[in-house]
Amino acid sequence: MKLGIMQPYFFPYIGYYQLIAAVDLFIVYDNIKYTKKGWINRNRMLQNGSDSVFSLPLKAGSDALHIDQRELATEFKRGKLLGQFEGAYRRAPFFKQVFPLLEEIIKFDDSNLFSFLHHSLSKTCAHLGIGTKLMKSSDAAVDADLKAQDKVIALCQAVGADTYINAIGGVELYDRAEFKTQGIDLAFLRANSFEYAQFDSEFVPWLSIVDVLMFNDSEKISAAIHTGYELV
């Protein structure tokens, strides 16, 4: 059984969904610390020919809080965020097909950050035709104090995975030989370049999945998700 594990992100790039589609079970971390400098509650869209950051505002909280302990800000204006997407993409070829998905996700009435992101991920996967089962890390019977590679191996063992696939960015973090001693094959997913027309501007790569959805038909996206990468 092939396993993938990642933090939740808000409308992540296409490589995130390639990883989900490449595995049999995908564990989403909920019981790890929220990191301000990461991409958990923000990402990039195309605006006026260049990349622009969009984000989910959060209530102030301790740096020690886990992702599932953080809350969206009371003043979060869902309509304003939807307006940002509409302003950026209303002329995109697939806007009418995609905007209802954004409305369903952004209007989701739950202030818990993890719940909001998990709902977003589930709905986007369904839209993309990805049937991989999603599981919260807190539902796995592992020692919560384990870190890094030890935690990943424990999660693999807890769910009976014999193959672990990680995004290519983690290639320096894990020891293939150590996984092998535990009876687990380790592989890394490297996304191929996926270029497409973005209005009349120069292509800006690796934006949010929203950008991919706005400019490409479902057949092209499905091909990129299921075959547009290599395992190394």
Angle among Cα 139, 141, 142 to the nearest 5 degrees reads 115
Q: What percent of the chain has pLDDT over 70?
A: 100
What is the rounded average pLDDT for all residues in the chain? 97
**Cβ–Cβ under 8 Å, residues 22 and 189:** yes
| Residue 128: pLDDT band with limits 50, 70, 90 | very high
pTM across the whole model: 0.96
pLDDT of residue 16: 98
188 CA to centre of own chain: 16
Residue 134 lies in domain = 2-231
**Cβ–Cβ under 8 Å, residues 99 and 79:** no
pLDDT above 90 (res 51): yes
| Residue 158: pLDDT band with limits 50, 70, 90 | very high
How distant, in Å, are the alpha carbons of 31, 60, 112, 120, 202 from that of 74?
23, 11, 11, 19, 38
Counting the structural domains of the chain, the total is 1
